[in-house]
Amino acid sequence: MGTGHNNFRQKGAGWILGILITSAAWAADSVPSFDGAEILTPVQRRMLQKVSVDFRGTPIDDVLRILARQAEIDVVKSPKVTGEVTATLKDIPLGEALDNILSAHGFGYIPTENMIRVVPQEEIYQAKEKKVSRVYRITFADVKEVETALKKFMSETGSISSNAGTSNIIVTDMESKILAIDKFLEEIDRPTPQILVEARVYDITSTDQLDLGIEWNLGRNTNYGSTGITGMGDNSKLVDLDNPTDPFITGRMSSSTNKADAMQNVFRFGVLNEAVNLDALIRAEQKEVTAKLLANPRIMVLDNQQATIKIVEEVPYQELSETSGGGSIGTTKFKDVGVELVVTPHLTRDSKIRLSLKPKFSVRTGEVFLTTNSIPQPVVAKRETDTIALIADGQTVVIGGLRKQDLQQEVKKIPFLGDIPLLGALFRFEGETTALSELVVFITPHLIMDQPIMSESERIRWKETEIPMPRNETTRLGKGKVVEEKIVEEKDGTQ
């Protein structure tokens, strides 16, 4: 009996153990597990609740309030979320309803453990992205300008800082923003094209000279056999009047007389005897136009940067100011007279050069006395213009227009004889010269692709100014000499 009782105990214990194991297995399948099944938060469970709504132009604030009340959920809305909603939903889970309503207006929601936050889609993407920090070394562009441009790429949660000393920019932002910044810097941090702007300033003068009167020129006529008026002869010789040795010369005249046959475009008349001719000249000649190079400056400038070329003379003038006692105090100031060029070149995509030109021309035309016994004040004529030209590399832009007219009167006479009334006109020469001058500027831009190369003339001047260094061998003293001797001895020993 004892044995049977023990068997019954063993069978009962096994049956109870089997029930417990089966119950445990069933419980394991029915109860959510941390390993196999996801535990839903209160918000996630409420997002599964079905809702039925009908909206017609309802403000989105009211829509969120109605849905939150039906699902018994707390909602926080961003101030950027605005608009009106038109939708009809029936027995739709709250999560699906929110996804469709908000995405149609560019919004979304971020669920937390106990509530949801409605924000623009960009903030949702940023919340999912990880932040990245990167250091950029700017090589060619200006660090401060790049920093200002990069701020437009930054998100609200990003940060940027720069170090002008090391040309570094540190950026911390979402990974997508960092990728956009990478592409942006690849485009802008490149070598900027350089343009050599060459300016040539010319003073072009045209002189109209009308000489009226009688100018006597004493010369020796080699045609001793001829008599009377010699006409348009070309065989006269200049006589040295300071040392007259010619037997036919019996007196002295001005030693500044001209050689008669050296004049061009003149009428020449000769009288007296066959050995000496005394010429009376009436001249009317047109001089050729001359161009004088005043300056040839050249300046290297970066693309889209302004270059200023000034070729001026500072002319002093007095500026009077009244004092409290009724008097006046003069202050010396200066006016710039000459040429000032402001050039801004820009290289286009088709390798043309767009030149923005602002030339200023000024020239001193005279003086004026403002008051009696005052210091003369300079009168300055100015010309300014502003233009834009599109030219090819190496072409030239010509700017002119500042003209000046000078009238000069010239009187030449023989001492004493030229002052005789009435008859003095025979020994006096009067001339009037009108000089027309114009400042003309030639501007030629040259695109520099590589390092600038000196011209041949510049290279010659560079060699002339180069100072040769002495070739004396350096004397080694002290420890340096000992170390050198040791090294030599070791080498000799190894050999």
Q: What is the mean pLDDT of the chain?
A: 71
Name residue, tokens 């019996």: 250
Q: Quick one: pLDDT at residue 160?
A: 93
CA-to-CA dists, residue 374 to 60, 320, 377, angstroms: 83, 10, 9
- pLDDT single digits (tens) 64-106: 888 888 888 888 888 888 899 998 888 888 888 888 889 888 8
Question: φ and ψ at 476, to 5 degrees?
Answer: -95, 130
The two tokens of residue 479 are 């420890």
- State how far the Cα of 143 lies from the Cα of 136, in Å rounded to an integer: 10
Report pTM: 0.47
Q: Quick one: pLDDT at residue 131?
A: 84
Cα torsion 346, 349, 353, 358 to 10°: value is -40
Query: Across-strand partners of 120?
Result: 107
Q: Quick one: pLDDT at residue 135?
A: 93
- State how far the Cα of 418 lies from the Cα of 412, in Å rounded to an integer: 9
Q: Quick one: pLDDT at residue 453?
A: 56
Residue spans of the chain under pLDDT 50: 1-36, 210, 212-286, 469-470, 472-495
- The 8 Å CB, 24+ separation contacts for 446-452 are 446/195, 446/196, 446/197, 446/198, 446/393, 446/394, 447/193, 447/194, 447/195, 447/196, 447/347, 447/351, 447/353, 447/393, 448/193, 448/194, 448/195, 448/196, 448/300, 449/193, 452/194, 452/196, 452/300
Q: Quick one: pLDDT at residue 356?
A: 92
Asked if 144 contacts 104 with a C-beta cutoff of 8 angstroms, the reply is no
CATH numbers and ranges of domains, the chain: 42-127 (3.55.50.30), 129-190 (3.30.1370.120), 291-321+330-448 (no CATH)
Q: Quick one: pLDDT at residue 455?
A: 62
- pLDDT single digits (tens) 271-289: 333 344 434 443 444 455 6
Nearest to 302 by CA among 142, 453, 459: 142
CA-to-CA dists, residue 296 to 99, 198, 338, 450, angstroms: 72, 7, 14, 23
